[in-house]
Amino acid sequence: MYAGGDARANRVLDDELFRMVDAKNPLMAYIPASSYLSEIEFQHFVDQYRRFRVKRFLHFPVDVPFDRILFKEVLKADVIHLGGGNTFHFLLWLRKTKMLEALRDYVHHGGILTGLSAGAIMMTPDIETAAMPSFDRDENHDNIKNLDAMALVEFDFFPHYRNSPRYDAEFRKFTRKQKRSLYVCPDGAGIVIDGERKVFVGPTWLFQDGKKMAIN
């Protein structure tokens, strides 16, 4: 789960990722949060992972019609990466296209799923953290009511965190109401889950029952 930032900021997380990749000639699939200008994001994505000698890539936007051929290839990828963007829009289309279930199955069958920002939130039980903080939140243009996400982890995640009282006040309030743990990370930091193993990369804080704790 990547909190944000560019290739350089995420170097350590990427190293962790490639410790998990067994394939000699891995295939990486990129699913952007929106097709809007995603071809440019894809170029950045390829640049980022070409450095790790990855040679095979797929670009797979879900908010435009797609054919089954590419869809099947995506689910055979060694790594599927969910891009950042508007979390509500992304969830809407992942659900519409039945990709939520497909990705859940993919992970349960040993696939490696990574996500940045919105893509990382997608792995949590729901995407409520996308509506925080109130002063800089994703807009729910599509007016989605069902915020349930993949629930691959049992905690909430907040990306692009800035260690400031304004943010903290909202998270304290949120975790007083919401009983789950909330991990927050700034750009370049993130969480790696490999079976039972949970690794925190970079500065991470935990909010629980209105309290804040530094984890890493």
Binding region for another protein (CB under 8 A): 27, 35-37, 39-44, 46, 50, 55-59, 61, 64, 67-70, 73, 76, 139, 141
Nearer to another protein, 35 or 181 (CB): 35
Q: Which residues in the chain belong to E strands, given as ranges? A: 27-31, 56-59, 79-82, 112-115, 156-158, 182-184, 190-194, 197-201, 205-208, 211-214
Q: Is the dihedral of CA 206, 180, 134, 119 positive or negative?
A: positive
Q: Least separation, in Å, of the C-beta of 66 and another protein?
A: 9
Q: Least separation, in Å, of the C-beta of 145 and another protein?
A: 19
Q: Least separation, in Å, of the C-beta of 50 and another protein?
A: 8
Nearer to another protein, 57 or 183 (CB): 57
Nearer to another protein, 138 or 170 (CB): 138
Which residues, other chains included, contact 23 with Cβ-Cβ below 8 Å and sequence gap of 6+? 78
Q: Which residues in 23-159 belong to E strands, given as ranges? A: 27-31, 56-59, 79-82, 112-115, 156-158
The residue behind tokens 């990547």 is 2
Nearer to another protein, 46 or 152 (CB): 46
Nearer to another protein, 129 or 140 (CB): 140
Q: Least separation, in Å, of the C-beta of 155 and another protein?
A: 28
Q: What span, in angstroms and rounded, lies between the C-alpha atoms of 48 and 27?
A: 14
Q: Least separation, in Å, of the C-beta of 40 and another protein?
A: 5
Q: What span, in angstroms and rounded, lies between the C-alpha atoms of 214 and 117?
A: 20
